[in-house]
Amino acid sequence: MYEQFFEMKHTPFSRDVPADQLYESPYVADALGRLSYAADNQLFAVVTSDAGCGKSTLIRKFAGSLPKDEYIFLYISDSKLTPRWLYKGLLDQLGIESRFYRGDAKRQLQKEVEIIRGVQKKKVVIILDEAHLLEKETIEEFRFLLNYRFDSLSPMALVLVGQNELWERLNLQRYAAVKQRIDINCTLPHLDRSETARYIQTHLTYAKGRQDLFTDAALNDIYKESTGIPRRINRICEKSLMYAFQQNRRLIDDGMVRFVMDHEMLGGGE
């Protein structure tokens, strides 16, 4: 509704912004480099952040950066994932009907990975999202999934993605054998004030409309209220643009942002 009012060709703060058009903070750029290294060397990596801090954006960018003629990319997001359903989900994506028993399915997967590596000459990258919600049994299964030829060769790159409490779980003694196998750790912090402004500007540039829509004071309040969490920034900016359109205002100031925060947001921007 507000896009035409602000002369935009695209909606700037929606979820479907193409990955290559999204703002790339220095932390995301660093994490992308680390994950690319993990993919190339078939390592075990963990990515954590607070909710809304860009894990999904990072994974979208990472997946888009992998050459399809060199990598097989498998993605699973299931908080109730059991070991059997883990193997079934991976085999389904490879177009293979999984056997019923966990051990049989695991051997199927290992055999298929060997074929992909040996015949297709490709590397396998597995992403497990929402990993902070995984059951104890599934986390412990990673040790056996990665145990290959007496640890002389890593069969795949495995990336666990989750909120910061994932590390709290991995630090428990029961997961010591899993934690010891982790090669790379990436953490995405909140954006600072200048990064928040660049984030908003990047999205406005993508929209291909007017660029000077927020005053500096408005940006200050957006940063303060969002605490630099991209998902909150999106929601505040989206509602601020809608409110400005309804009020026939072409410039969003701090008073308008505060009105939106007081009257249109739930839970302080959640």
CA gap 169, 163 in Å, rounded: 11
Q: Which of the four pLDDT bands, split at 50, 70 and 90, describes residue 154?
A: confident
Architecture of domain 2-17+191-263: Orthogonal Bundle (1.10)
Distances (CA, A) of 176 to 60, 137, 139, 197, 211: 30, 14, 11, 41, 50
Over range 60-80, report the average pLDDT: 91
Ranges of each domain in the chain: 2-17+191-263, 26-188
3-state helix vs strand vs coil in the chain, percent to 5: 55, 15, 35
pLDDT confidence of residue 237: 97
Element (H, E) at 186: strand 184-188
SS3 at position 82: coil
- CATH fold, domain 26-188, is Rossmann fold (3.40.50)
Residues sharing a CB contact under 8 Å with residue 122, sequence separation 6 or more, in sequence order: 69, 70, 71, 72, 116
Tokens of residue 110, six digits = 């290992």
Same fold, 2-17+191-263 and 26-188: no
* Number of residues written out for the chain: 270
Q: Which of the four pLDDT bands, split at 50, 70 and 90, describes residue 148?
A: low
pLDDT confidence of residue 264: 77
Give residue-wise pLDDT tens across range 57-67: 999 999 999 99
Residue 267 has pLDDT above 80, yes or no: no
The letter for the amino acid at 61 is K
Element (H, E) at 75: strand 71-77
User: 81-95, 138-152, 175-189: which range is least confident on average?
Assistant: 138-152
pLDDT confidence of residue 269: 40
Angle 142-81-94 (CA atoms, 0-180°, nearest 5)?
Answer: 75
Tokens of residue 268, six digits = 């302080």
Give residue-wise pLDDT tens across range 103-140: 899 889 989 998 998 899 999 999 999 999 988 899 98
What is the spatial order of strands in the sheet that 71-77 belongs to?
71-77, 123-129, 157-163, 44-49, 184-188
Residue 141 has pLDDT above 90, yes or no: no
Give residue-wise pLDDT tens across range 173-229: 999 989 998 999 999 999 999 999 999 999 999 999 888 999 999 999 999 999 999
Residue 21 has pLDDT above 60, yes or no: yes
pLDDT confidence of residue 268: 42
The residues facing 184 across adjacent strands are 45
Give Cα 74 to chain centroid, integer Å.
14
